[in-house]
Structure 1
Amino acid sequence: MSAATAAATEPLPVRLTLPTHVPPLTLGWEVIRWCEQWLHSPMGDGSPLEFTPEQGRFIAWWYAFELADDSKTGWRWLYRRGLLRRPKGWGKDPLAAVLALVEMLGPSRLAGLDADGKPRGEPARAPYVVVAGTAEGQTRNTTGLLDLIASPDLRRRCSLEITVSGLCRGRSMAGDAAELRPMTSAYRTAEGARPTAGIAGETQHWVPSNGGTQLDLVLRRNLTKSPGGAARLLAISNAHLPGEDSVAETWHEAWLKQQKLDTDDTGDESAGILLDTREPIIDISPEALDVADRSQMLPLLAASYGDSHWTDLDRTAEDCADPDISRAHVLRFYGNLLVAGDGAWMDPSVWEAAYRDQPIPDAGEAIAVGFDGSRNRDSTAIVGTHMATGYQWILGVWQRDYSLGEDHFWEVPADEVHDTMARIFSTWVVARCYCDPAFWTADVDTWAGRWDSVAAWWMTGEHVIRNARATTAYREALNSGDVTWGGPVADVFTDHVTNAVERPVQGARSDADRLHTIAKPGGRRSRRRIDVAIAAILSWTARGDAIAGGWTPPPRRIARSRSLTEARLEKARKEAEADTAEPTEQP
């Protein structure tokens, strides 16, 4: 960034995923000293390499370890794989190239502790490092920097040879033959190799269609073969596109699950996956952000780029204002924010902002219900909406386990679905219930005959315009804060909502009436489910129609199976009636 901009711009607050303190045991400090002695700056001016505080903290945590008597080596890494997510131009590839040389030649393994208890490093035995990508250009982003950062002293000391293709051979500091090799997505030929370290470049572009998903799995299988479990995979990426099934997205989701496990259990940093990212915290919806407005973008860019002092924020802000670049592209690649792309239906930041950690409504409260079902392909879902507040939660969900394979027969347990519907109607006052009858026509007819508030609402066929308006109204209600959500299995709710992509409604005649329904990404055979999202739309629509139809809360009734809360409310009501009754005249 320019000096003037850096001094004048107050960055937005950021959400950090890397611990702010330093680990008690790490090889990171020795790695940094080795790099500063043997490597040059990637700027190409021959000056010594210097790390920023952000880079230094990342290296410290990436090389953090713990002593372990149950390990063959007596120690183990805190993290088995890592994801470094930063905006374009932050310096991900230069840092990856530096760490690739560390793994090939430098002190990348624990040799022991000195007399003062400080870690001593040593090179890996027979080091073989792979720099992987789904295309040659991705590997070249990293390997093309090796020639700049390897100092003449390092080349002489390690007999280092670097080819134009990125292949690098030499001798480690311990004298072992060492090799660094680029690898693309021909994952079948990569099976069986035994790398001691791996770098995965631009994993936001590693998707099933280009072999990236398979390459990721092959690399991780190969690294597992390393003696003592010391071989690891470091991925670098920009912010991924939610719902695209990229490797960056699946790693992020795995990290979220491990963070939840830690929170519920030990809460320590040994989650197995290291994620380092800086996400600016913006106080408005991303959809309302004007990326062409420098006054809005400069604080955001200052936050996302952190201490990467080489970044020219003025020029970056100009690039963000280009009219042919979408807002989603700007916020992902320059703002380091996880936002929906042009095809995604729900912006993750909007969805997350609507979450509320609160109890579900008490029994006897008035709710609206939405039902969307399948029989054996993906899932069936029931969602409730509190009439008084607009709070939503999952009342029931049944999902096919795809890990059992396509040939495994599975069917939604219809008896459980019927029992759940009966429980819902016996527990809450259901103002209105909309059910998509597809695959469940006879069942919906049965429910409508049993409960007056049940009505069929087809989400397919000739009602597409009506459904598109309901879908639009639901998203607008989320943007305005009218809808909130939470409750049990909140992660399933999020998965279904963020999986959905927009499908334009044919025949919309004006920009003001540009409508969409939602669909699975990748077509009907996709494994990314959206049934909970559809049930949520139906539930919200049922609530709105009930209110528009003049619905008012009926006299409170007690459910057949009363909860403790209901019993207390009933007792309090009777006591209040007794207190207000006219006193009986005494003789």
Structure 2
Amino acid sequence: MNQDQVKNVTLTLNSLFTKAAMDKYQMDPGMERWHARQLDGTFCLLEAKTASYRSAEGARPSAVFPDETWHWNESNHMVKVYNTLSANAAKVGGRILMATNAYVVGEDSVAERVHTAWQRQQDGKQRKTAMYYEARSCHPDFDLEDEASLREAIKTTYGDCHWVDIDAIVDQCYSGVITRDEVLRKYLNLVTASDDALVDPIAWEECSTDLELKRGDRIVLGLDGGESDDSTCLVALRVHDSLFHPIALWEKPDGPEAENWSVDKEEVSDTVDWVFANYRVEAFFSDTAFWETYVHQWSEKFQSRLTVKATGRSHVAYDMKGNQKEITEMNTALVGAIENGMVKHTGHYGLGRHVKNAKKRHNKFGTSFGKASRESQYKVDAYAAALLAFIARNRLVGSGKQTKPKTAGRLTVKGGF
């Protein structure tokens, strides 16, 4: 943000305060900052900050208002600005109110980081803070090509903003000047994906359902495990309707808690036992990296209950690196199933976050998946577990060996979800 942009922000204040308010609080408007006094005589300063995080260090703000933080990233140094401003506010008990259009998944903007932190808190994977999040957007199943549907979506998004000119926005949407992604983000507040994203976030949201797993449901399992950095996730996929549901997701926490953190493998194993005790598990495919001992134990323990085998040598062990051809082919099939609404999911934040983090990775067999980079904090392990479950179900259906369905009462999912 340069000085000209700062002036644009401060000039808008003239329309926000009445003359009576300006007189009451002795406001002195300026181009870059405003001065005022509270009724008790306390001096106040309202100023817009530029993208110089060093000059902002040590300030004592009672309130900070970051705007359009989907533009704030590492390349323009605005991540450092946000970190500095939020630290300043924390020292004096100041508050932060952020406003932004929907972000682009994978750009690692401040908006994406904050939303990710909020999701992790909702999943119980991050310590709860006083963070409040509110977003108003339309349902993603509207038809952009149908003007009546688009108008209704815009009205839903803007709610009681009576000053908005719906006709002008519709004209802009159909002008041919702005892209589909801009229409979705700017006017409908829907998160969109970068060009190399594996799954369209909107297509994923359209697969959300209120359906739940029930005790005794016929399922297949997929597990992708890490140790200290990558996440570990156990995903169930119901056989008869392709409903994805994460049983549990173990993720490295942020902040001081991350030091020396590693996944509790015994807890993971206990969770696997719990699933077999409560569901009719007909296939269980687990990646072997870092988990060879446990995978071998699971294969021995549950082989009599599993209808199909992961490999010729094991009921459970599935080497994802050694099965690139099938991984690639089934990855393409899963993406197609998501885009065509042929699978469902329970709306779990963690699984959705990992699905949206997944990037296209091309190889000699076609399009596979991976993280944005080797060191990326945006994990994809839950997507990998879902893909393993998808492969397991495909094998099961292809074998023609499914057992007859059996259902019972509702089941509360383990792990705080």
Equivalent residue for 2:191, pick from 313, 326, 338: 338
After TM superposition, the structure 1 = structure 2 runs for residues 249-328 of structure 1, keeping only pairs within 5 Å, are: 249-252=112-115, 277-281=135-139, 283-284=141-142, 289-290=143-144, 294-306=147-159, 308=161, 311-323=164-176, 325-328=178-181
* Separation in structure 1 between the aligned mates of residue 276 and residue 123 of structure 2, nearest angstrom: 33
Equivalent residue for 1:144, pick from 11, 14, 35: 11
Q: 1:411 to 1:174 in 2, by over 3 A?
A: closer
After TM superposition, the structure 1 = structure 2 runs for residues 414-563 of structure 1, keeping only pairs within 5 Å, are: 414-425=265-276, 427-441=278-292, 443-445=294-296, 447-448=298-299, 451=303, 453-455=309-311, 456-460=317-321, 463=324, 466-486=326-346, 490-498=348-356, 500-506=357-363, 516-521=367-372, 523-553=373-403
* Separation in structure 2 between the aligned mates of residue 302 and residue 427 of structure 1, nearest angstrom: 45
C-alpha displacement of 1:555:
10
C-alpha displacement of 1:553:
0.9
* Separation in structure 1 between the aligned mates of residue 17 and residue 272 of structure 2, nearest angstrom: 67
* Separation in structure 1 between the aligned mates of residue 123 and residue 360 of structure 2, nearest angstrom: 33
Q: 1:297 to 1:215 in 2, by over 3 A?
A: same
Specify the alignment match of 1:52 in structure 2: none
* Separation in structure 2 between the aligned mates of residue 197 and residue 565 of structure 1, nearest angstrom: 50
Specify the alignment match of 1:190 in structure 2: 56
State the Cα deviation string for residues 375-406 of structure 1 (Å, max 9, x = none): 33222222122222322323344333343377
Q: 1:419 to 1:454 in 2, by over 3 A?
A: farther
* Separation in structure 1 between the aligned mates of residue 90 and residue 367 of structure 2, nearest angstrom: 45
* Separation in structure 2 between the aligned mates of residue 356 and residue 470 of structure 1, nearest angstrom: 23
Give the aligned residue type for 2:56: A
Q: 1:281 to 1:219 in 2, by over 3 A?
A: same
State the Cα deviation string for residues 80-105 of structure 1 (Å, max 9, x = none): xxxxxxxxxxxxxxxxxxxxxxxxxx
* Separation in structure 1 between the aligned mates of residue 69 and residue 80 of structure 2, nearest angstrom: 12
Give the aligned residue type for 2:11: G
Specify the alignment match of 2:413 in structure 1: none
Q: Could you say what secondary structure the match of 1:551 adopts?
A: coil
The answer on whether the counterparts of 1:378 and 1:529 sit within 8 Å (CA) in structure 2 is: yes
C-alpha displacement of 1:325:
3.8
* Separation in structure 1 between the aligned mates of residue 246 and residue 74 of structure 2, nearest angstrom: 30
* Separation in structure 2 between the aligned mates of residue 564 and residue 196 of structure 1, nearest angstrom: 55
Specify the alignment match of 1:75 in structure 2: none
C-alpha displacement of 1:314:
3.9
Whether 2:229 is the aligned partner of 1:377: answer: yes
Specify the alignment match of 1:114 in structure 2: none
Whether 2:67 is the aligned partner of 1:216: answer: no
C-alpha displacement of 1:530:
1.7
Q: Could you say what secondary structure the match of 1:394 adopts?
A: strand
Instruction: Using the TM superposition, name which of 196-205 and 207-216 deviates more.
Output: 207-216
Percent identity (aligned): 29
* Separation in structure 2 between the aligned mates of residue 356 and residue 375 of structure 1, nearest angstrom: 32
* Separation in structure 1 between the aligned mates of residue 82 and residue 257 of structure 2, nearest angstrom: 20
Q: 1:517 to 1:144 in 2, by over 3 A?
A: farther
State the Cα deviation string for residues 3-55 of structure 1 (Å, max 9, x = none): xxxxxxxxxxxxxxxxxxxxxxxxxxxxxxxxxxxxxxxxxxxxxxxxxxxxx
Specify the alignment match of 1:12 in structure 2: none
C-alpha displacement of 1:540:
1.5
C-alpha displacement of 1:152:
7.8
Q: 1:315 to 1:278 in 2, by over 3 A?
A: same
Instruction: Using the TM superposition, name which of 365-374 and 391-400 deviates more.
Output: 391-400
Q: 1:547 to 1:198 in 2, by over 3 A?
A: same
Gaps of 5+ in 1: 1-133, 262-270, 509-514, 557-562, 567-587
Q: 1:207 to 1:434 in 2, by over 3 A?
A: same
C-alpha displacement of 1:424:
4.2
C-alpha displacement of 1:187:
2.6
Q: How many residues align?
A: 395
Task: Report the TM-score, using the length of structure 2 for normalisation.
Answer: 0.76
Q: Pairwise CA RMSD of aligned residues? A: 4.0
Equivalent residue for 1:248, pick from 108, 111, 117: 111
